[in-house]
Amino acid sequence: MCGIAGYISSKKLQDAAMLSCLHHRGPDHEGSYTDALQNKQLFLGHTRLSILDLSADGNQPMFSDNKQIVIVFNGEIYNFQELKKKHLVKENFHSKTDTEVVLKLYEKLGIDFISELNGDFAISIFDKQKDKLYLIRDRVGVKPIYYLHDSEKFIFASEIKSILAAGADTVLNEDEILNYFVFKYSPQQKTLYKNIFRLPPASYLEYTVSKNTLSINNYWQVQKNNAYTNLSYSDAKDCLFGLIKDSSEMRLIADVPVGNFLSGGLDSSIIAYFIKDRKDILHYCARKSENDLKKEGTTSDYYYAEKLAKNWNLNFSHIDIGSEEASVEMIRKTLFYSEDLIADGSQIPSYLITKDAAKTSKVILSGMGADELFLGYAGHMLTLISSQYLDKLPNMLSNSMGSLAAKVNQGKGKFLAYRRYIHKMGKYSRYPDYKYALFNIVGDFDNSCSVYNGNREGVEEMMTNYFPKGKGIFDSLFHFEMENFLVKNLHYTDRMAMANSVECRVPFLDHRIIEFAYSIPRNYKLTTSGKFKRILKDTFKTQLPDYIVNRRKAGFGMPLRSIFSNRKTIDALLDQNFFAGFTKFSIENIDKIIDNHIAGKEDNSSIIYALISFQEWYKMNFK
């Protein structure tokens, strides 16, 4: 994994500053290419994190033999050796990298070569003869790429800070503020920086240099795969086992040490199973205090991870996370690296774990994505209960049941997690079909909307578009989560890992596994009897201990409910005078949200964290 940046502009921009901003993404080598063409300045830059072929032969930019094609590339192509044998057997190579394979594939096959890649990538290819510059992003959005385009210039980079360093104006996108508070990030392809966009996953951008025009083209969409749709449950389990095994083994390709996130949950334990005989691999886990776990109402990941590590004799390391880590300094540090603002309590532990892992590993595996693919979140069960049962009851009865459920206090008492879910389902049970999105977003929708006077109708319309009449609810939800919530998770994972110069790989998000998960029936994944990730559990129940397969799920992240359990801590982190300086923020509603949270009537920890994060992010970027 690396950092890439570039521009085509009517004047020279701050290219050295652009690369300096990306040094953490690639501390091993820095390279660039400049050219003057058609009265325009062209720059392509690369910061390298050496993973394959550690020699200078792997440095970038790389050039075609005729010097007419230039590539800068961030990521890994896991099937590059297979593609090399398939298409390039007669070619001469100067390195042992996947980058050179990508370059030669483009030369031979044109832009359509990307459909054959299995990997995580953000690629820029400049083709001088065709007058084209391409940006290409992997199918799921594991690797980031941003761009800015106006009448004078086109700028792109792995991170927004690099675009700003080029000399772009820093302008707040006020239209996205409400979206941020609802979703705890900016959904789809917009950002909180005006005129700076994400390139969508599974897309390539084609920029014509002479005309200063661009188009964005989709090259893959997840669809039902006939090879999987009619599988029996037994055959589906066999197929899934083979897919995960192959994906996990492919992602071990490296000329540097590899590690693994071991949470003690099902997903990371499955990956650990396939690499447990590799004694050179170190497994890392976050550990929360007993006090924080009690206030959170969750179980200890560390307990299960340590037990599994002892059973399998794994090399195991832990890092403590807790209330003391939620300092302004740590929040600001993670916001600096994430920049495309995310309010997610998982960022700090992700940063801390990869900081520790960087001492011994340059690549780390993660079980991210399995919950979205195989229906492992509580919101998925709420969706099932609502769509299969509550929605079919007479209005009077369902309204009565919803009203009772909505009155459940979320913040205090026994069974905290269940209280939160029951309250959310009751409160939104009579909403239109976009309620299924509300069941699965972090925090309460109404409360999130109340802090900022934005375009609520626009937010509702965006969610409604994911749930058209006649389409299956879980098919709709799959696309909603894949295009939004999952991209957000991948975003913070990439940023926190790369802040410490560590590459994170996600075996469950191999596109073949995604197509498999989308194609099999819902009851293979989530049952009406309450079994989450059924096929994952059943596939690996003989490979994994029972205490892993049947344990209660615990979310990965900072213990926000514990941290925000008293007013003193909140007041030390949240500056309400800051929000009073904006016309559209409601100080009255912010106070109400905090009061109800402290009183235990509501769980508003995610909204409070979103407010603190916005406050610190704004101060860092808009002085």
Contacts of 396 (CB under 8 A, 6+ apart): none
- Active site residue: 2, 21, 239, 285, which one? 2
| Segment 143-174, tens digit of pLDDT | 999 999 999 999 999 999 999 999 999 999 99
Q: Please report, for residues 44, 273, 282, 356, 489, the alpha-carbon distance to residue 362 in angstroms, rounded to integers and kept in the order given.
A: 25, 21, 11, 11, 20
In a domain, 57, yes or no: yes
Interatomic CA distance for residues 311 and 305, integer angstroms: 10
Residue 426 gets which letter from DSSP?
H
Is residue 71 a contact partner of residue 125, using CB atoms and an 8 Å limit?
yes
What are the C-alpha distances in Å from 156 to residues 8, 164, 394, 622?
9, 10, 54, 21
Check residue 414 and give its pLDDT.
Answer: 64
Question: Rounded CA gap, 201 and 26, in Å?
Answer: 22
Token output for 474: 């879980």
SS percent in the chain: helix, strand, coil, step 5: 45, 15, 35
Residue 616 domain-assigned?
A: no
pLDDT of residue 296: 56
- Look up residue 113 and give its amino acid: F
Looking at residue 299, its pLDDT comes to 60
Q: Output the pLDDT for position 302.
A: 85
Give residue 557's region: left, alpha or beta (phi > 0; psi -120 to 50). left
Please, are residues 254 and 52 in contact by the beta-carbon 8 Å criterion? yes
Q: Which of 417, 382, 373 is nearest to 402 (CA)?
A: 382
Is there a contact between 202 and 138 (Cβ–Cβ < 8 Å)?
A: yes
Structure tokens at 362: 């340059």
**Strand order through the sheet with 132-137:** 62-63, 69-77, 119-127, 132-137, 203-208, 213-218
Strands in 363-365's sheet, in edge-to-edge order, are 315-320, 282-287, 258-261, 363-365, 503-505
Q: Per the domain annotation, does 510 fall within a domain?
A: no
For residue 427, CA distances in Å to 160, 398, 446, 588 come to: 38, 11, 10, 22
Q: What is the 3-state secondary structure (H, E, C) of 365-385?
A: ECCCCHHHHHCCCHHHHHHHH
Q: CATH no. for residue 55?
A: 3.60.20.10
Distance CA 3, CA 122 (A): 9
Q: Domain containing 176: what range?
A: 2-218
Alpha-carbon Rg for the chain, nearest whole angstrom, is 24
- Position 413 scores a pLDDT of 62
Q: How far apart are CA 466 and CA 489, in angstroms?
A: 19
Assess if residue 561 is contained within a domain. Answer: no
Return d(Cα 477, Cα 532) in angstroms, integer. 16
Averages of pLDDT over each 10 residues, the chain, 623 residues: 94 97 97 93 97 95 97 98 96 96 98 98 98 97 97 97 95 96 94 96 97 97 94 98 98 96 94 95 83 60 91 90 73 92 90 91 96 95 92 82 78 69 87 95 95 97 95 96 92 96 98 98 95 97 95 71 86 92 96 92 92 95 83
The residues, ordered by sequence, that sit 6+ positions from 328 with a Cβ below 8 Å of its Cβ are 573, 616
Assigned domain for 160 exists:
yes
- Distance from C-alpha of 503 to C-alpha of 1, rounded to nearest angstrom: 6
Tokens describing residue 228: 């999987």
Question: Tens digits of per-residue pLDDT, 226-260?
Answer: 999 999 999 999 999 999 999 999 999 999 999 99
In one-letter notation, the amino acid at residue 377 is: Y
Does 231 map to a domain? Answer: no
**Structural domain contains residue 519:** no
Q: How many domains does the chain have?
A: 1
CA 69 to chain CA centroid, nearest Å: 31
Q: What are the DSSP E strand ranges found in 238-339?
A: 258-261, 282-287, 315-320
200 closest CA partner among 177, 179, 216 = 216
CA 540 vs. chain centroid, Å, equals 25
Does any domain span residue 27? Answer: yes
Active site residue 239: no
Residue with token string 């409070």: 608
Structure-block tokens of residue 23: 């040094």
